[in-house]
Amino acid sequence: MLEIKDLSVRYPGGDQNALTDIDLSLSQGDFVCILGKSGSGKSTLIRSINSLQKPTAGEVFWQNQQLSALSEEELRKVRRQMGMIFQHFNLIPRLTVMQNVLTGSFGYRNSLKNLIGLFTKEEKQEAHQVIADVGLENMADRRVELLSGGQKQRVGIARALLQRPQVMLGDEPVSSLDPGTSNHIFSLLQQMHQTYHLLSIINVHDVELAKRYATRIIALKEGKIIFDGPPDQFTAKQFEETYDSRQAMVQKEPATN
Ligand SMILES: Nc1ncnc2c1ncn2[C@@H]1O[C@H](COP(=O)(O)OP(=O)(O)OP(=O)(O)O)[C@@H](O)[C@H]1O
């Protein structure tokens, strides 16, 4: 489904690569968590997958299409199959939950329709469905600025789902949230992963969350893959190698509320 071949990325003016010789093959059904110290290349990898970041060498293939060879229009089609959620949610605070979620349909519409903000009945029905999926059915008309961080990320997830994606990309989607809320968001991501038959690729700093939810962990160090395997094989030794430090403690299961 998604093939990454010999991918290297060096930012303009950088004296070393952000990513070096990345080779990966990812399939529908994989729930991948990417671990690594700050600066190890996690965001660059996510941004390379949806071609927000162009390769310096190597290539990303989506459904056998070489991303760097696609036209803008073809790339737009690929990107709408890849929903994305962000650390700071990237929502429009003064707009309602419904209005924010509806922006997820923009990839399917022409820019004039987007400009005048007219949505069809079907689009609104689909938006209601994904808002219900993320547990915000009673909040569709509430302004996003009035929501908690966890609720905002639920809106972010609903917006991504409205794209009817095949891939869910997450760039540290729980880094702004407390441990209990982070657990709820991961639990929701897991449910949506199963309901919508996704390939999920999520950057995360919390190793325990990764081990609890991922089917596959990929650890990066200085832009290279140093671990790729099931969570139970990511042991204290791998932790130490990834973070250059001993695992301080095993976190308790966060309370569910
Ligand atoms: N726009 C940019 N221009 C130049 N260098 C960059 C840019 N973005 C990232 N880098 C560099 O590329 C490397 C990888 O950065 P990246 O953001 O991918 O790491 P990360 O693992 O996501 O870090 P964090 O956990 O702090 O978000 C770092 O050395 C970083 O300084």
Whole-structure pTM value: 0.92
pLDDT tens, N- to C-terminus, the chain (257 residues): 999 999 999 999 999 999 999 999 999 999 999 999 999 999 999 999 999 999 999 999 999 999 999 999 999 999 999 999 999 999 999 999 999 999 888 766 555 555 556 788 888 999 999 999 999 999 999 999 999 999 999 999 999 999 999 999 999 999 999 999 999 999 999 999 999 999 999 999 999 999 999 999 999 999 999 999 999 999 999 999 999 987 664 554 555 44
- Dump the DSSP string for the chain: -EEEEEEEE--TT-SS-SEEEEEEEE-TT-EEEEEE-TTSSHHHHHHHHTTSS--SEEEEEETTEEGGGS-HHHHHHHHHTEEEEETT----TTSBHHHHHHGGGGGGS-HHHHHHT---HHHHHHHHHHHHHTT-GGGTTSBGGGS-HHHHHHHHHHHHHHT--SEEEEESTTTTS-HHHHHHHHHHHHHHHHHTT-EEEEE-S-HHHHHHH-SEEEEEETTEEEEEE-GGG--HHHHHHHHSS----PPPPPPP-
Residue 14 Cβ contacting ligand 1 at under 6 Å: yes
Report the atom number in ligand 1 closest to the C-alpha of 44.
Answer: 18
pLDDT recorded at residue 123: 87
pLDDT of residue 115: 53
pLDDT of residue 107: 67
CA of 44 to the centre of ligand 1 (A): 6
User: What atom in ligand 1 is closest to the CA of residue 203?
Assistant: 22
Our answer on whether the CB atom of 38 is closer than 6 Å to any ligand 1 atom is yes
Q: Is 43 in the pocket of ligand 1 (CB under 6 A)?
A: yes
What the chain holds in terms of domains, given with CATH numbers, is 1-78+201-246 (3.40.50.300)
Atom of ligand 1 nearest to the CA of 45: 18
To test the pocket of ligand 1, the residue of 8, 35, 43, 175 to mutate (highest count of ligand atoms within 8 Å of its CB) is 43
How many angstroms is it from 249 CA to the middle of ligand 1? Answer: 27
pLDDT of residue 245: 86
